[in-house]
Amino acid sequence: MSKYIYTAAYIGVIVAANWATSTFGLVSLGLLGLAVTAGTFFAGAALIVRDGLQLHVGRAWMIAAIVAGALISAVTSTPAIAVASGVAFLVSELVDWSVFTPLRPRTLPGAVVVSSIVSAPVDTVLFLYIAGFGVTWQAVLGQFIVKTGMALLVAAGLAWRDRQVVAA
């Protein structure tokens, strides 16, 4: 995939996450009282697509994509959600980059999982706080489970792909 396709996908999932959250707010996971913002599944995808985009672009390009996602979100969601998203994605991107980049040469699946484990809570806490949802253990844990679960699925797929390439 080219950097343009990754960029469009990244901006698209940011906008989708913000639209879903501004439309549906917090939703129950139906498990131990855990809750997530409705856009959490899209946000989890954004964290993973972001790792793919990092393989093709520099930091300035990434920041421009985050700003573009926030600006479009200001039209498709609420200004508060757009600002919270932009700040949370920007800060968590810097955290993710500092983890993903050094791990990537050793193991792409490991880099995806570890960078998500480190950056997802940063993204979650900042977003919940700035957007005014309240930072509760139910919301933080719920979003962590969803975002990390998505990262684990992608990492498993990458590991399987790598084994197929080695076997061929």
Does residue 88 contact residue 39 with C-beta atoms inside 8 Å? no
- Domain limits of the chain? 3-167
pLDDT, tens digit (0-9, with 9 covering 90-100), for 93-142 = 889 989 999 999 999 889 989 999 999 999 999 999 999 999 999 999 99
pLDDT greater than 80 at residue 160: yes
Q: What is the pTM of this model?
A: 0.86
- The enclosing H or E element of 36 equals strand 35-37
pLDDT band per the 50, 70, 90 thresholds, residue 167: low
Phi, psi of 33 (to 5 degrees): 75, 15
Q: Which CATH class is domain 3-167?
A: mainly alpha
Does residue 18 contact residue 68 with C-beta atoms inside 8 Å? no
pLDDT greater than 90 at residue 23: yes
pLDDT greater than 70 at residue 1: no
